[in-house]
Amino acid sequence: MTLESISIDSRTTRWSVASARRLLSLCLCAWGAMSLMTCELQAKGERAAVLEQHTSAIVRVEVVLSNKMNMGGQGQEEESRIEIFGAVVDPGGLIMLWNSNISSTRINEMLQDMGQADGFKFEITPTSLVVHLGTEEREAFLAATDSSLDLAFIQLEESPAKPLPFVDFSQAVTPSLGAEIVQVSRMGRGFDDASRVTSARVGGMIAKPRRAWIVDGELDSFGLPVFDLEGRPVGALTTIFSRSGDSSGSMAMSPMMSALSSGSPFESLQPFVLPGERVATLVRLAKERAVELAGRRSTGASGSEGARKDGVEVMPPTEEVDSSEECPEVPEGDEAEAGEPPADG
């Protein structure tokens, strides 16, 4: 064997090793890309499955509001109509909503936090609630609210002929940090009430002023449930108000609060996902209150002053409690829900 042939064999060996390495690298990249595509396709399929599973539980509600504003002794009152979406959370017709759609509590809290509440009073009162169930329209009444958690519950006046599709918060699960979460909502009557799914991730958790999941993404349908990719409820998207003044970021608002846009200075109001077990407690209490109020309405004991008259009997602002604990009962009286939210700390 000559020196020249040894040199050629050496170059060939080096070329073969380098080629093998490049080939292996390309194979690994291709495998990684295919894995990512497979995961994405799987996630899309899971989102579609969640949408199909829960779309029928998301219903449109037409609301007539009485809006009263008093500033410096000068009062003004007008009526408005809005369309919002709620989630059926009990097959007997209990529906969960975003309380800020039908209440002025959050607005007044924010104005007070800004030092602009002196001499100003704003009050929103729902006077009519009509729920659309497919082609049917059913009247409802306000059963319960929790202003500190910014959720409200309405109940169909008449029990449905058959159980309604609903989101069962008794089956709620706890998501892991970084897990993908999705929300099912609708586009509105102008777009044929088309259902849609949006996604985000669990970005963390806060403990004060109450325990809730931080949203890393663009969930925007307040008052509606949030699910994991298996369709199990993990909580409800709501707002949490803090008086600490240390919050930062933007917020999203419904049409009812369109004047308070994401560019507003109300940084003390932030969107979070209220844990599912806490929502389950609220659903149970709201169902009990709805049964009680329905009994009174059937006998005429609750009067005929509109939905908000019954809604005076509401769940009050509450401290963060374990899901097994009861919210305190509210004595009958005016402005049960207008108390101070729990202080930070």
SS (H, E, C) 51-113: HHHHHHHEEEEEEEEEEEEEECCEEEEEEEEEEEEEEEEECCCEEEEEHHHCCCHHHHHHHHH
Question: Mapping DSSP to helix (H, G, I), strand (E, B) and coil, where does residue 203 land?
Answer: strand
Q: Which two tokens stand for residue 294?
A: 């329905």
Q: Which two tokens stand for residue 332?
A: 């009958």
Q: Are 286 and 149 in contact (CB under 8 A)?
A: no
Domain boundaries, the chain: 55-311
pLDDT given for residue 108 in this prediction? 73
Distance, in Å, from the CA atom of 302 to the CA atom of 297, rounded to the nearest integer, reads 5
Over the stretch 140-186, which tens digit does the pLDDT of each residue have? Answer: 999 999 988 999 999 999 999 999 999 999 999 999 999 999 999 99
Per-residue pLDDT band at 336 (split at 50, 70, 90): very low
Per-residue pLDDT band at 26 (split at 50, 70, 90): low
Place of tokens 């059913």: 138
CATH architecture label of 55-311: Beta Barrel (2.40)
Mean pLDDT check: name the lowest of 11-15, 170-174, 232-236.
11-15
- Mean pLDDT on 281-303: 84
CB burial readout 203-221, b (16+ within 10 A) else e? eeeeeebbbbbbbeeebbb
pLDDT given for residue 106 in this prediction? 75
Q: Helices H, strands E: what count in the chain? A: 4, 12
Higher pLDDT, 336 or 114: 114
- Mean pLDDT on 38-58: 79
Indicate whether 249 pLDDT > 60.
Answer: no
- Mean pLDDT on 256-275: 57
Q: Which two tokens stand for residue 197?
A: 């799914």
- The rounded percent of the chain whose pLDDT value lies above 70 is 62
